[in-house]
Amino acid sequence: MTAPRIALCPGSFDPLTLGHVDIVRRGLALADRVVVAVAFSPTHAKQGLLTVDERVELIRESFADEPRVQADSFQGLLVDYARRTGAGLVIRGVRTVADFEYEAQMAVMNRELSADALETVFLAPSPAHSFVSATLVRQIATLGGDVSRFVPAPVLRRLNEKLGR
């Protein structure tokens, strides 16, 4: 029996958006399991809207119907986490040319750091999600806008609770 092919979908996920969900579901065509992994650093903790535990919990709830998707968090280098989890593939969504410049740099660096053990694939989102970003969702939600079209139901509920609506 061959080993299961594990892909990582790393990110900040503050919060998980429907754009992320779209990319993760597309990623299932490329791997047996996709681990959606929230990256965090206790020293440079980016002031986020959601805690790391909340982000992981919301990923879990949003993919409750898909046993091949798992939620986790990690600190430190992605290549070290990939080695620990046995993943050989990183999946990243790319919306724009600007995204691609940063993503290509990270992909090549991760391959270098892993001695060719970690490849990255870029997936394009569906057109409906090509303008959705967690940064914009965070901003719109914080300023009282409606983000119901851009996030999964569990995320919407949590944002409403958190922002007192």
Q: Does residue number 77 form part of the binding site for ligand PNS (CB under 6 A)? A: yes
Instruction: Name which of 99, 100, 95, 79 is nearest 37 in CA terms.
Output: 79
- CB of 94: closest distance to ligand PNS in angstroms? 11
Q: Which of 45, 66, 86, 109 binds ligand PNS (CB under 6 A)?
A: 109
164 exposure class (CB count in 10 Å sphere: 0-12, 13-18, 19+)? exposed
Only segment of 9-17, 21-29, 140-148, 154-162 that touches ligand PNS (CB under 6 A): 9-17
Minimum CB distance to ligand PNS smaller for 109 or for 164: 109
Q: Does residue number 123 form part of the binding site for ligand PNS (CB under 6 A)? A: no
Decide: 8 and 37 in contact? Cβ < 8 Å: yes
Report the C-alpha gap between 130 and 22 in whole angstroms: 10
Number of residues interacting with ligand PNS: please give it, by CB under 6 A: 9
Q: Does residue number 124 form part of the binding site for ligand PNS (CB under 6 A)? A: no
Report the C-alpha gap between 54 and 131 in whole angstroms: 24
Minimum CB distance to ligand PNS smaller for 135 or for 160: 135
